[in-house]
Structure 1
Amino acid sequence: MFGLKTLDVGIGMALMFLFVSLICSAVREFGELATKTRASTLKAGIVEMLGSSRVEAFFEQPHISALYKGNYQGALVSSILSWIPFLGRTKLPSYIPSGNFAKAALQLIRSETTLASTAALAVSDVRAWTGPVPGDQKPEDDLRKAVRSILDSTGDDLNALQTGLEQWFNSTMDRVSGWYKSRTQIWLLVIGFVAAALMNIDAITVMQRLSTDDKLRDQVVAQAGSTIAECTKDPAQCGAPPKQGGTPDTLNTKLDNIKAATAQMTQVSWPIGWSGGYPDPQFKLLSSGPSDKNDAAAAYAAMTGWDQLLWWLGIIGGWLITAIGVTFGSSFWFDVLNRFMVVRSTIKPDEKSPKEKSKS
């Protein structure tokens, strides 16, 4: 039966994953600052939509150039510097509103027609532009296909065409966001594993200790309650995105999240960390007493090489589980923790702590 002890272990594991996720997501954001992969991924999506020959002209359009400093060539990075953090990052925008894209695309189309510079663009001009280019043996590009498809479905309406271009852009950006999220998941897995190894956060050992140590479990549940209260007041502390119209999330916020998470981890005696070059909580489990390091060292030395390898593989497996948990993100673990705490609050006092039997 699902009991309070099992629920408290789940609360402890969710809280641990929340703390580690906050640290790793903040590290990932620092990496994003150094490399600006959002901007380069967005540019790759624009190239796919418009073709490489139109990219510079697109980013030079007023509706797009207003979103970054300088000109297109100045925003690019030299291939020699591309691998160097900060120096090798693109200065192109990380986000383009769909309305800006549609207006810039229409201006691109206009520049490829034979209209005079002062003439207004009409739907008939766009229709003519979507036709085959005389003497052009190249395959038809995606922009022409998309515009023709939009005109065929909406009719000869320039406003409808702009709306269709916005929808095309949004649907493509959903796919581009998928590219970015996939890369982010991989980075979080790597960062999570490195963090778990450096801090020796072995999910298996943590769960074992929570299952057997009543004092630790009570401390963790109390900490979970205070964490829920703090994150409810300030959701950014638990990695929640800023509300619409609110103050944008900053790197200072991410740095504060790292400090807060590490401080929280030290408030409770979590079974993590290293001591004397050995993973401390796992090493202590080898001894007959909780703090007898000499006994643990003797037990470790008495193990065969194969047993020592299996022992380390078990620890590495725990680090990997921690890393996998990180990929779900801090918002996910905050939601799980919150649900667990709500369920716990509904348990009757008698179920939490059975009454003592009468001595009479």
Structure 2
Amino acid sequence: MLSVYLDLGVGLVLSFLLLSLLVSGVNEAVVRLTAVRSKFLWAYLRDTMDGSDDQGKAWLPAKATDVFAALPFKRDPRPEHSDQPAPAEVQAMPTQEGRTDDAMTKLFYERVREIDHPKTGRTSISDIPPGRFAVAMMEMASAEKDGVDGLLAKLKDLKSPLHGHLQGLWDGAQRDMERFRVGVEGWFDTEMQRLSMLYRRYVKWVVAVLGLLVTLLFSMDALEYAKTLLRDNAFRVGVSAVAGGSTEAYGELKEQCTSQQPVTCITETLSSPALVKVFDHAIVSVVIPEEGDPGISWNGAVWWDRLTTLSHWPGYLLTFVGLLFGAPFWWDIFRRLTGIRSRRS
């Protein structure tokens, strides 16, 4: 009896794992297509170095829901890509008269563009190590006449939000360059952690939307699927009993396969397990005939009929909630149930 529930658990976990992997794959494709990671980083850098735009709007959205309207589709905060290495001589910061709304961002990009590669004419840098950020600040300070004091004076003159952060770090380091560099590195690392939290909240919204779409497009009813798994298990027990010579089991099997010969019925059933059947209800399914090449079948009418049947919606809700846990969660459960060991252990 324990094996029945184990088969049921493994089947459900495997289906959730496959659908979660599909959601994760689509999410990664959307993220790469819209370059959201890079836009998150450079929106933060623009807000921190140059402040808001000429209309007084921040580049980085304050709420995760605002990201859908701001970063992927509207203004692009990334600087233009350059295939040239960082110049040997660091340019001095502009004065208030020569300031533009992205002067500091462009100056900083010059110091880190060695790790860049083009993507639609804009930078694709989506991660800057804290140590590299600190070195870039040191290089920019070296171009000023008074070093760090000169850099802070110009930041204050430009009304850059970065001035307050660096001024506090400089005072805390007691004007020691090495302590100041370590402080800048630690501060930027903390800021990247805060930015990652906002990005994760954004990703949760995207995963929730994609999970709902996948659930509905595949019309995946988890309760119905669990029942199908139990039926498959009972069917295989019946086949095993027939193979052992049970005439009673053969009679039950013959009643179940009334439309065709028992041998043909057994072959077709065993070759179409529950995991395969669950994808037969998608709006588009792949048909693999006994002979010939696979084909694509349109199931629009059947799919819509399932979608509008209220009795399936509790199962849809269960599937949707399951997908919210994500592929890593279901892979860990699947690994524990099957005894697969991770390489780390």
Q: For the superposition of Structure 1 and Structure 2, which TM-score range results when normalised by the shorter chain?
A: 0.5 to 0.7
**Is 1:91 matched up with 2:123?**
yes
8 Å contact from structure 1 (residues 109, 129) kept in 2: no
TM-score by length of 1: 0.55
Aligned pairs for 1:69-84 (under 5 A) are 69=117
Deviations 1:43-97 (A, max 9, x none): 1221232233674533444332223247xxxx7xxxxxxxxxxx6x953411212
CA distance in 1, matches of 2:185, 2:313: 48
What is the aligned counterpart of 2:325 among 325, 328, 335? 328
**Residues 55/168 of structure 1: CA separation in 2 closer, same or farther (3 Å cut):** farther
SS at match of 1:272: helix
Q: Which residue of 1 aligns with 2:133?
A: 101
Instruction: Report the Cα offset of residue 18 of structure 1.
Output: 0.9
Q: CA deviation at 1:338?
A: 0.9
Matched to 2:113, the amino acid is S
Q: Which runs of 5+ in 1 are unaligned?
A: 76-86, 116-120, 219-265, 280-296, 298-307, 344-360
Distance 1:108 1:314 in 2: 65
CA contact (8 A) 1:150 1:164 kept: yes
2:105 is aligned, of 34, 58, 68, to: 58
Q: Can you list the C-alpha shifts for 1:234-292, whole angstroms capped at 9, x where unaligned?
A: xxxxxxxxxxxxxxxxxxxxxxxxxxxxxxxx97332424569899xxxxxxxxxxxxx
Is the alpha carbon distance of 1:42 and 1:275 closer, same or farther for their aligned partners in structure 2, counting shifts above 3 Å? closer
Q: 1:272 to 1:105 in 2, by over 3 A?
A: same
After superposition, residues 220-235 of structure 1 pair within 5 angstroms as none
Match of 2:16 in 1: 17
Output one character per residue of 1:315-341: Cα deviation in whole Å (capped at 9) or x when no partner.
244334323322332222111111122
For residues 217 and 159 of structure 1, the distance between their equivalents in structure 2, rounded to whole angstroms, comes to 71
Of 34-43 and 2-11, more deviation after overlay is shown by 2-11
Distance 2:171 2:4 in 1: 63
Tell me, yes or no, if structure 1 residue 272 matches structure 2 residue 278.
yes
Matches of 1:32 and 1:322, distance apart in 2: 24
Q: Which residue of 2 is the match for residue 209 of structure 1?
A: 228
**Amino acid aligned to 2:278:** I
Identify the residue that residue 38 of structure 1 maps to in structure 2: 37
Answer whether contact 2:217 2:283 (CA < 8 A) is retained: no
CA apart distance, 1:212: 4.9
Q: How many residues align structurally?
A: 239
Asked whether the 8 Å contact 2:50–2:105 carries over to 1, the reply is: no
Contact 1:201–1:322 (8 Å) recurs in 2? yes
Q: CA RMSD in A?
A: 3.8
- Higher normalized contact order (CA 8 Å, seq sep 6+, divided by chain length): 1
Percentage identity across aligned positions?
24
Structure 2 gaps of 5+ residues are: 52-99, 238-270, 286-301, 341-345
In the alignment, is the contact (CA less than 8 A) between 2:219 and 2:307 conserved in 1? Answer: no
Aligned residue among 98, 106, 116 for 1:68: 116
- Within 5 Å, give how 1:33-182 maps onto structure 2: 33-52=32-51, 55-60=102-107, 61-69=109-117, 90-109=122-141, 113=144, 115=145, 122=147, 125=150, 133=157, 141-182=160-201
Query: Tell me, what secondary structure is at the counterpart of 2:278?
Result: coil
- In the TM superposition, what whole-angstrom CA distance separates every residue of 1:122-165 from its partner, at most 9, and x where no partner exists? 455567668x65xx8x6xx5322211222333332212212211
Compared with structure 1, are the counterparts of its residues 210 and 186 closer, same or farther at alpha carbon in structure 2 (3 Å cutoff)? same
* Matched letter for residue 162 of structure 1: R
